[in-house]
Amino acid sequence: MRLLASDHYFRTRPFAEHDKECSRVGTSLWEVSQHEQLRLRVAERGGNYTETTTRYLCRECGVACLVRTDSRPDETTLTTTAAMGYGSPPVRQHGVWLHPGPLPAYRPGDGPDLYYLTEHQDAPRTPAAVLGLVCHHRTQRGALRWSAGVGLTSDTYSVRRNAGDTTFPSRGAAVRWVVAEAAADRALAVKAAEAFR
């Protein structure tokens, strides 16, 4: 079960809503626990199975939700926020926040395979909140190179403009390019708005 960075940042929805008076309203902060129980099923229908009940609750506002699934234990994925990217703390570089994507399964030592760049520390919830993205790859000779794009146009990896064939020797250089391009876009938007006054 491997989700893309865009799945984590843009395609998830709040699991349940806290009560409107709760201090956790608008967050995904829940106490989570699981209960597994072996269930019997006739052999013609696939034999026994495990029913897993996951409980989400907030002791402050009293909202609780139970989710039951029928699955085999090997369908459960235990991972870390570092491996998923989402949930890891963002990194500040060149005046913007870098929100990490997942570690590539084939080369996790290279770090997250992409970062969404935002002006704010909070994780982006929509593509409009993203200034751009930077991602890395290995060349045929094994060198780590970075690509960059500005202006996320959808909840995938589509950008309004990318650096074309230009790649960067470091994450910092790719981030600088996105910051400069985003600033230029903002200046053009201000100039266009003033022209219509």
Quote the mean pLDDT of the chain.
82
Res. 91: pLDDT tops 70: yes
Confidence band for 187, pLDDT divided at 50, 70 and 90: confident
Strands 91-93 and 114-118: unpaired
Confidence band for 74, pLDDT divided at 50, 70 and 90: very low
CA dist 32 and 65 (Å) reads 10
Tell me the C-alpha to C-alpha distance, in Å, between residue 45 and each of 41, 68, 74, 109. Answer: 7, 19, 19, 44
CA dist 181 and 185 (Å) reads 6
- What integer pLDDT is reported at residue 172 of this predicted model? 96
126, two tokens = 């929509």
Phi and psi at residue 43, in whole multiples of 5°?
Answer: -55, -35
Domain boundaries, given as residue ranges, for the chain: 16-75, 81-195
Q: Specify whether the CB–CB gap between 192 and 185 falls below 8 A.
A: no
- What integer pLDDT is reported at residue 79 of this predicted model? 65
**Which position has the higher pLDDT, 68 or 147?**
147
Q: Specify whether the CB–CB gap between 115 and 171 falls below 8 A.
A: yes
Res. 86: pLDDT tops 50: yes
- What integer pLDDT is reported at residue 176 of this predicted model? 97
Span 96-150, pLDDT tens digits: 999 998 777 667 677 888 999 999 999 898 899 999 999 998 889 989 999 999 9
pTM exceeding 0.75: no
